[in-house]
Amino acid sequence: MLKKSLFVLTLMLIFSSFLLAQTEYMAGIPRDEIIIIENPDGRATDPDNFNIWAPGSPSWSRGLQQICMDALWYIDPDAGIEGDPWLNSLAAEPPIYNDDYTMMTIKLREGIYWSDGVEFTADDVVFTIETLKAHPTMGWGANFEIYVDQVYKTDDYTVVLKLKEPNSRMHATFTVRWSGCYIMPKHIFEKVENPETYKFNPPVSLGPYVLESYDPNGYWNLWKKRDDWERSTLGKLYGEPGPNYVLYIGLSQERRVLDQMKHELDIIHDLAPEAAISLIQNNPYSVTWFEEFPWGHPDPTLIALLLNHEKYPYNIPEVRWALTLSLNMPEIALASYNGAATISPIAVPPTGNHLKWYFDPLEEWLKEFYIEVDGEKFFPYDDTIPFQVADLAKKQFGYEVPDDPEKIRESLGYGWWKYSPETAEKLLISQGFTKDNRGRWRLPNGDLWRINIICEAEGRPIATRGAEKVAEQWRRFGIDAQIQGVSTAILWPNYLNPGNFEVAYAWNIETWGGHPDLSFFLRTWHSDFYRESGELSAGSNYIRYKSDELDKIIEDLLKTDFFNYEETISLGLDFLKLTVRDMPEIPLMSYNVFTICDEYYWTGYPTSEDPYTNPVPNWANSKYMFPKLQPTGRK
């Protein structure tokens, strides 16, 4: 009886604290005028700092980059609000380069104003570049220091950058994928003694909302629609945003589910698959990217098994292929995502337009691709694997899985590599590996082969579970494999960037999603940027992969006009074929995000049927939702 009373009392206290917090940030605001969005950053560590350019800048995902800041260009990972992923925002048109890519001209949009009434002009862009270049530890500053020789305006709406060397991708710095270089208000920062420590509080906005209030403890930020919203790019181009107020709030997983069930949280950023599926099945107002299995939004990020080429034996292609063929992908998909995974056999995520740019053209090539094992051809590609995943998800979890083969391919992937431990064994034996009388693999020098897989342990159960399933399968194959879970906060700086790992379950390939150009991640894979293990990588080549053929592809790509899709895709296909042959890392699946929107108060969310933008709310592109969101009429 006492335990029951304590449980009831605990629930009452939790509910009371929720009501108090809700009263604090929603005082006097009708529920049908405010949209409440999860901020996955959780609690802001410096809640009164809104200087997004500062070194170690504050939480971006509390509305700061989504509805307050603005950039020259955006590339949407999905179809784009205009039906084209490329979006001119503060810029009136795409960048203009001279013939040798040593000069870039930016034409700016007229009639855009900061929230304090000052017009946005070329002065703001020039000031931003010069300030950040002079402070290279600030966001984007190092890039400007390396590439920009001079920046100036020719009139109030035209900016010219003279570059130190040819750079056909200079505009990428100003182009938002998840984020990009946001423009500073000159009239504010020119009065600041130290732009690195200035807190920019309250922030002057270029977006359609301004900061109304925030929690000094860092849990929430409330934004109010500008009276002159039509003088922002979003309002000017796409119309009035629906919500009068936007609240970004950090919540635990349990709280997210409870709040959305009560219709007190409109957009959940992400949940563990089982929590997401339970919510979807119990809330008739839930809206997800796919209406049915696998529900989640495939982000243009590729989860993979990263293999450090400076650590023996991962420098050997036959070993990398053996590790690949000893994996059973349907089991990994079920362990990590309950089967709701979008798998990829190639080194790009299977998302958005990548399907038509890369997966469709490569399908026949993959079917004809073979590796030689003991003098015989082995064809490793298996296009039945997504259907195996669908069948297992139906049988093991009882999910209603689509029957349409095209829907399965679109949502679960086109195929993966065969599970063939027999072939993997032959590959290892060909490299001098042996098995002892207990079935354990030994290196050519006789040492037991041990693999330690680094993975995220906090906040990403999909990573921990996926890595553990990989380790289990490699143990079954005879390798002494274990996982080492570390926090997200130290995985990249302590392990991946310095090459302090042998194998990692993580990602190093992130693409635009809405554009076929792979230089977004590939540029720093050129050997000019190579850093040995022990040094911090200059980009995302954590695996320390080097290849003359890769260098040539990257060099040709960077000489190609960004908007020449045909040549860009051709070079991208060359890269993908190379990485299939070499298997420098083992691609697994896209990073699927279980963003769940609640349609009780608001409607108009993007879905796979209406993919006008990315619904994942910490992406800056999610701002394009707001003109589409309309109240349902419920009070």
Joined together, the tokens standing for residue 499 give: 């090459």
DSSP 377-417: EE--EETTHHHHHHHHHHHHH-------HHHHHHHH-S-EE
Q: How many whole angstroms separate alpha carbon 117 and alpha carbon 115?
A: 5
Backbone phi, psi, residue 316, to 5°: -105, 120
Q: What is the pLDDT of residue 128?
A: 99
Q: What is the pLDDT of residue 27?
A: 74
- The number of residues making up the chain comes to 635
Q: What is the pLDDT of residue 406?
A: 94
Joined together, the tokens standing for residue 627 give: 């003109």
Q: What is the pLDDT of residue 17?
A: 47
Q: What is the pLDDT of residue 253?
A: 87
Burial of 406 from C-beta contacts in 10 A (0-12 / 13-18 / 19+) = exposed
Are 612 and 628 in contact by the 8 Å Cβ rule? The answer is yes
429: Cβ contacts below 8 Å, ≥ 6 apart:
none
DSSP 38-66: E-TT-S-SSTT---TTSTT---STTTIII
Q: How many whole angstroms separate alpha carbon 161 and alpha carbon 172?
A: 13
Q: Is the peptide bond before 58 cis (omega within 30 degrees of 0)?
A: no
Q: What is the pLDDT of residue 26?
A: 73
pLDDT of 146 higher than 70: yes
Joined together, the tokens standing for residue 154 give: 């020719």
pLDDT of 22 higher than 60: no
Burial of 461 from C-beta contacts in 10 A (0-12 / 13-18 / 19+) = middle
Taking CA atoms, 494 is separated from 113, 116, 461, 483, 486, in Å, by: 42, 42, 20, 16, 10
What is the DSSP pairing of strand 175-176 with strand 73-75?
parallel
Q: How many whole angstroms separate alpha carbon 591 and alpha carbon 349?
A: 8
Q: Give which of 457, 76, 519 is closest to 300, Cα–Cα.
A: 76
Q: What is the pLDDT of residue 10?
A: 44
Average pLDDT over residues 92-97: 98
Average pLDDT over residues 133-154: 95
3-state secondary structure 560-604: CCCCCHHHHHHHHHHHHHHHHHHCCCEEEEEEEECCEEECCCEEC
pLDDT of 20 higher than 50: no
Average pLDDT over residues 568-595: 98
Q: Which domains does the chain have, with CATH numbers?
A: 26-269+596-631 (3.40.190.10), 298-592 (3.10.105.10)
Average pLDDT over residues 527-548: 94
Of all helices (H) and strands (E), which one includes residue 85?
A: none
Mean of pLDDT over the chain? 94
Q: What is the pLDDT of residue 43?
A: 87
CB-side exposure of 228: number of CA atoms within 13 Å?
13
Are 79 and 102 in contact by the 8 Å Cβ rule? The answer is no
Are 279 and 596 in contact by the 8 Å Cβ rule? The answer is yes
Number of H helices, E strands in the chain: 19, 27
Q: How many whole angstroms separate alpha carbon 447 and alpha carbon 604?
A: 60
Q: What is the pLDDT of residue 56?
A: 78
Average pLDDT over residues 460-467: 91
pTM of the shown model: 0.91
For residue 94, which amino acid is it?
P
pLDDT of 6 higher than 50: no
* pLDDT one-digit tens code per residue, 235-288: 999 999 999 999 999 998 899 999 999 999 999 999 999 999 999 999 999 999
Average pLDDT over residues 365-380: 98
Q: Where does the pLDDT of residue 9 fall: very low under 50, low under 70, confident under 90, or very high at 90 and above?
A: very low
CB-side exposure of 436: number of CA atoms within 13 Å?
13
pLDDT of 14 higher than 80: no
